[in-house]
Amino acid sequence: MSFWQRLFGRGEKDTQQLESPSAEPVAAPQPESETSAPLTHLEALAADDGDGDGDAALMEFRAAAGGAFERAALDAVHAAVAVNRAPSALRVAAADVHVQRGEPESAVAVLKGDRSTAGLLLIADIRAERGDVAEALTLVETVIARELDAPGASERRMRLRRRLGSPMAGAPDDDAATILRSDTPKTDLRVVREAGRGGAGTVYEAFDDALDRRVAFKVYHRPKLDRAKLEREAALAVRFRGETTLRVYAVDPDQGWLVLEWIDGGALRGVIKRADQRLLLPIAKWFFPLCEAVHRVHEAGFVHADLKPGNVLMRTSGQPVLADFGICTPVGTAATGGSMGYLSPERLRGEPLDKSADVFALGRILEDALGVVADVLDESERRKWLSVVENATRTEGRPSDIRGLLALSDA
C-alpha cells in the first residue's frame, strides 16, 4: 500500500463474525478500552518514573500495532510524549501508524517537538498533502541543511519547489558556491589561507603588515553582478556597528572585495560541527547577545534575511558577532536569496519580509546548536531551549519580534 493510500484511508477490515461450531455463541470481543493490554514498557515510559526502556517500548509498540491493542499502544505513546519520555524512533513509529489509520493530525501531534530526520520528513509529507506546500518545503530544507544526503529529502525538495512556484522556490543554495573568478585581487594584504567559502564569495585569512593585524579578506565571486550587495554589506555593517557586529576596515566595489575584522573563534557553523562545548555552553551566553544584535537591525527598520550559523562568528571569549548584511532588507519589502534551511514558510512563498523571518532563522540556529549539546544539559534546561526552538519555528503563532522570542526563554 502506498504512503498516500496509507495517509488518507486504510483498507477495509474483515468484519464478519466468526461462528463457533458449538451451540453456544461466541462472546463478542471487548472494546479496546476495556481490554487489559500487555504494554508494560510503554506504560513505564508514560509513568515518568525513570524506569522505562525506550528500545523495549518500541518493540512492544511494533508488536501491538495492527492488533487489538493498537489503540491502547498509541494512547501510551501520547502519554509518554506528554511527559517528554518518548524517544524519537517511538514517536515516528506511532506517527506512521496514525497515518495508516487515516489520522494525519494525530501523527503531527505525536511528533510535536521531534526534530529527527524521519519525523520532519513525515510531517512534511502530511503538510504537503494537506496543501501547506511552503511549510512542507521549510521542513525538508531544514533536514537538508543539516544532513545533505538524507534519503528522499532532495527528491521532496525538487517536487515541492515546483509545486510552490514562488520566486524563492528556484533559488540556489547559498552555500553551493560556483567559483566564477580564479584571481585574487591585488592588495597590500598578505593572504595566509582560505578560511571559508559561500554562495557570494570566498573569505581568506590575511595579514595587514602595515597595521600589524590579522584580517578577513572577503572576495566576491561576481563583483560586477553583486556590486550592490557588496556595497550594502559594507554600509549596513557600519550603520549597525557594535561589539556584536562585524567591523569593516576597507572596501573596493570595483574589484569586489572587503577587508573585515578577523574573529578568532571562527563561524558558529564550525563550532557546531566540532561540538565545541566551551563556546556553545552556556547557551544564554551567546544566544542572548546574538538576539540583541538582530534586535538592533530590527530597530533600524531592517530584516537581516540571511541568519545562519555561517553568518554568526564567535570570539574565543564566547561572544557572538553578526556578519554578512549583503541581503539585509527593509521591513515590508521582498527579498531574494538567503540560505535554504533557515527560510521561513512565508519567505518561501515570496511574501514581504517582517521581523518574524529572522525569529524563525534564530530558532533554527538554536536548534542546530542543541543538536550537539542537548544531551549534556539538565532536563529543565533542555526542555526550556527545545520549547524556544519549537515556538520560534512555528508557521503560525511565532513571536513577531526579538522581544517575543526572548520572552520564551524566560518562561
DSSP string, 215-245: EEEEEES-TTTTHHHHHHHHHHHHHT-STTB
Provide the pLDDT for residue 294. 97
Residue 286 placed within a domain: yes
pLDDT digit string (tens) for 354-368? 999 999 999 999 999
Provide the pLDDT for residue 63. 93
Helix, strand, or coil (residue 404): helix
Terminal-to-terminal C-alpha distance of the chain: 45
> The CATH number of the domain where 333 resides is what?
1.10.510.10
| One-letter amino acid of 357 | A
Provide the pLDDT for residue 48. 59
Task: From 369, 411, 407, 367, select the one nearest 389 (Cα to Cα).
Answer: 367
Rounded Cα distance, 94 and 58, in Å:
9
Residue 184 placed within a domain: no
| Co-location of 274 and 376 in the same domain | yes
| Co-location of 273 and 254 in the same domain | no
Whole-prediction pTM = 0.78
Provide the pLDDT for residue 148. 82
> The CATH number of the domain where 75 resides is what?
1.25.40.10
Number of compact structural domains in the chain? 3
| Co-location of 119 and 153 in the same domain | yes
pLDDT one digit per residue (tens) for the chain, 411 residues: 444 344 334 443 343 333 334 444 444 444 444 445 578 889 888 885 656 688 999 999 999 999 999 999 999 999 999 988 899 999 999 999 999 999 999 999 999 888 899 999 999 999 999 999 999 999 999 999 888 889 999 999 999 999 988 666 555 555 554 444 556 787 889 999 999 888 788 999 999 999 999 999 999 999 999 999 999 999 999 999 999 999 999 999 999 999 999 999 999 999 999 999 999 999 999 999 999 999 999 999 999 999 999 999 999 999 999 999 999 999 999 877 888 899 999 999 889 999 999 999 999 999 999 999 998 999 899 989 999 999 999 988 999 999 999 998 875
Maximal CA-CA distance, the chain: 105
Residue 388 placed within a domain: yes
Q: Are strands 248-252 and 312-314 parallel, antiparallel or unpaired?
A: unpaired
| Co-location of 248 and 281 in the same domain | no
| Co-location of 239 and 354 in the same domain | no
Please say which residue of 261, 290, 323 terminates a domain.
261
Rounded Cα distance, 175 and 274, in Å:
19
Residue 249's domain spans which residues?
A: 190-261
| Co-location of 304 and 387 in the same domain | yes
Residue 8 placed within a domain: no
In the numeric block, the cell 593585524 is attached to: 213
Provide the pLDDT for residue 46. 82
| Co-location of 370 and 286 in the same domain | yes
Please say which residue of 261, 293, 311 terminates a domain.
261
Provide the pLDDT for residue 54. 87
Cell of 259: 577587508
Rounded Cα distance, 235 and 241, in Å:
10
| Co-location of 72 and 128 in the same domain | yes
Please say which residue of 238, 261, 284 terminates a domain.
261
Residue 326 placed within a domain: yes
| Co-location of 135 and 241 in the same domain | no
| Co-location of 393 and 335 in the same domain | yes
Query: For the residues of 286-349, what is the DSSP string, one character each?
Result: HHHHHHHHHHHHHHTTEE----SGGGEEE-TTS-EEE---TT-EETTS------TTS--HHHHT
> The CATH number of the domain where 223 resides is what?
3.30.200.20
Write out the H or E segment, with its range, that includes residue 213.
strand 213-220
| Co-location of 209 and 323 in the same domain | no
Residue 150 placed within a domain: yes
Residue 28 placed within a domain: no
| Co-location of 154 and 196 in the same domain | no
Write out the H or E segment, with its range, that includes residue 251.
strand 248-252
Residue 176 placed within a domain: no
Task: From 216, 219, 215, select the one nearest 256 (Cα to Cα).
Answer: 219
